[in-house]
Structure 1
Amino acid sequence: MSRPLSIAVAGLGTVGAGVLRLLSENAEIVAARAGRPVVVKAVSARDRLRDRGVPVSTLRWYDDPVALAADPATDVVVELIGGSEGPARALVEAALAAGKPVVTANKALLAVHGAAIAERAEAQGVPLAFEAAVAGGIPAIKALREGLAANRIRRVAGILNGTCNYILTVMREQKREFGEVLAEAQKLGYAEADPSFDIDGVDAAHKLAILAALAFGRPVDFAAVHVEGIREVSALDIALAEELGYRIKLLGLAARTASGISARVHPCMVPVAAPIARVDGVFNAVVAEGDHVGRVMLEGRGAGAGPTASAVVADLIDLARGRVTPVWGAAPGALASVPSVPMDRHVGAYYLRLMVLDRPGVIADVTGILRDQAISLEAMLQRGRAPGEAVPVVLTTHDCEEAQMRRALARIAALDAVLEKPALIRIEPL
């Protein structure tokens, strides 16, 4: 068997400790599949004394993670610090400059700076691997970049954040409100103390930007992703969605259109019969549609020590075997400069819930505004009468352009009979 692959790991949190544990417990099978042992020789973390459940006393310790890049005995640098700036970015750039392959799980870094980092890696002729950056243990990167490489990808979509999926699942199953379920998720460790990146859709958008770059062969462009979170999804909307034959999921969706590439993250109503509607709890799912393969769906755990460590070590095995693929699936010169399609040009169907005073003429006013914007109604739902009081009215539309719907929504919200901000959720026939 060949000389061991010596790796240095920066960041010994949940994932970093998981990588050390996996390499120890599965050392024999990893060596067999890598063609040689994969051995951790150096680490960096903020606290030397913290008990991580794995031994680190025999490893070379660096207080400065960037110093790992200069470790003469290190073959591969594994960055598990996280964040788009600071030590994570500095370490990756230093490692590439030193000619050392990098494995990272850092979706924020890749989404924000991935184009420049990939250029640097390609210029240096150094591999950059990031299977763990999207959907944890699901091999979504390999599927798009390698398994589906012969296809023209039409669309990629998915449930890309387990925290949001867990919250929406519990809200549906237990008929509870968002704030209450979020607080419980934080106590259980499914949501961070500051959950903004998750519940506001930013984490999912980071991952979608990466998937879109791979799917459509263009440099990663996080700024082009439209982002909405789940803060405004109510238990009432979830119950009404069920009544209409839908479930609400936070989805990332990217598609190739005649006008360019659209990329968006927002709550969606998906038909209950759609396979993705049945992906619940903390699970993730990724769907890709190719011109020859058709639709492919992958489902699994999108986070956690074991699944994410599994993806990190899969990249290390590839590097040990000398299997190297261009960062975005093609050489930089072959990447396309495809324009992004703005959100106001999105075309689709919509769910609209209004809380209105129950009095004559209100529905006529609302439908008149929709008519003026050339928006056609598919269905309307109103339960019971309460003259002079607030009642929910639900409308679903046929396909229309987002800009039309936004203009109509502004006028509807200004009606004196509309008592609160209208709820708008896009309908996706996945």
Structure 2
Amino acid sequence: MTMLRVSREKLLAIPELLNIITSYLSRDDLRTLIRVNRALNAYWVPHLYVKLFFRSYQRTRSYPKVNIYGQHVRSLNLVATSWDNVVHLLKFTTNLQSLFLRYTILNTSHLQEIVRLTPHLRVLHATLAQSSMEPLNCRMTPLASLKRLEDLSWEAATEVRIDDVLFILKSCSQLKSLALSLVTLIEEFKDTNASARRLIKVDDNKHVELEFRSPMSNRHLPVEGTTLLNAIAKACPQLKQLSVKNFPPSSDAAFEQVMKASEQIQIVSVKNTEFGDIALTQLARLSLPMFTSPHSLVDLNVEGCFNVTSRGARMVLENCASLRSLNLLGTRAGTIDLFKGSKPWSCVKALERLRLEIQPVDFQPRPRGTVQRLPPVRLYTAEEQQMIKDRICSFKALMGLELKGDAMTFEMLEAPVSFAPEMRRVLLHCDQSQGQR
């Protein structure tokens, strides 16, 4: 066998090959390589500076090579670092693509400086240390100048203007992920009337009531969930993932508008919201054959959405052929109506994870936060149980399965693993009060 020998000079002359080799090396491996000789040292030392992490960084002579190899830094992670020290590092990392700032105090001028020093930034995650309810202290609008920004995460116990968020969504055309944590979204209203207003009310008895309201040049009100969803529907036509947590009160119709505008959406996670059959039906229609878009729904989590019923869930199962994960816990989508019908479920070859509650026909969900038990229910007949079993066993690609509910019985799945060869995790919860074990 002839062995191919490549000289060191030829190896170092092929940067593409070296980049592939470097991708498989740990930092310890790189530290070992740079001690071999000067040639390897000269090439691989810059790779040690591709990702930097500092906690409470201060300008000292401890890191003099940051000034030399700063152009090679692609990711910078700073924790509890003052702004003076942050800007000191940013001045030497002109090719920075990812910036992580945790427990840092920022204001609007600081964001403007970040944009100026790191114009190629693709990822920005900021966890602010301040707790101020005044949105003017740190407005997000300067970030709209980062035209290459793909991932933005903003965590701060502050108020954020909805107009600022929408401006970023419209300006950053390459933005793929936007996460807002702990913030309070607000709308700002301006009152152009400089004088006090007097309201006069006259009732049927001719009683006059005078009410004086003092002028307010700026008024901040929390954004309602419906208002926010309508804004998202208008500003994000290319939306691929919708994930909401602790969402303010909204409506099923508002979620429908987002689904209607997002023909490329792939992931929907709307736990414990007003998301229901109206939005679910619109979402299922996006996957019908009449649409030529290559994107389709792959992950749906509607846990705790009381407005979701068997009718809406059946629409998804029949039309979303690429669906790989489905969570219907805490909904009204587990009755026998879900399993009836002769139309096949299009996702039987794709679904890998299923979480479902088998519930009686007259099922009514318990109010949130309560553990009260409902009166005993009538279990399904043997024929109905076989229908449920046949539908569930049609998912040949399942890797994870969780079944529970008031009408769940072990007879529905006597051998829960046999029908899915790739099954790795099965959770079956049966109600002991119904005589099950």
TM-score > 0.5, shorter chain as reference:
no
The structure that is helix-richer by fraction is: 1
The structure that is strand-richer by fraction is: 1
Taking structure 1 as the reference length, what is the TM-score of the superposition?
A: 0.26
> Larger relative contact order (C-alpha < 8 A, sep ≥ 6)?
1
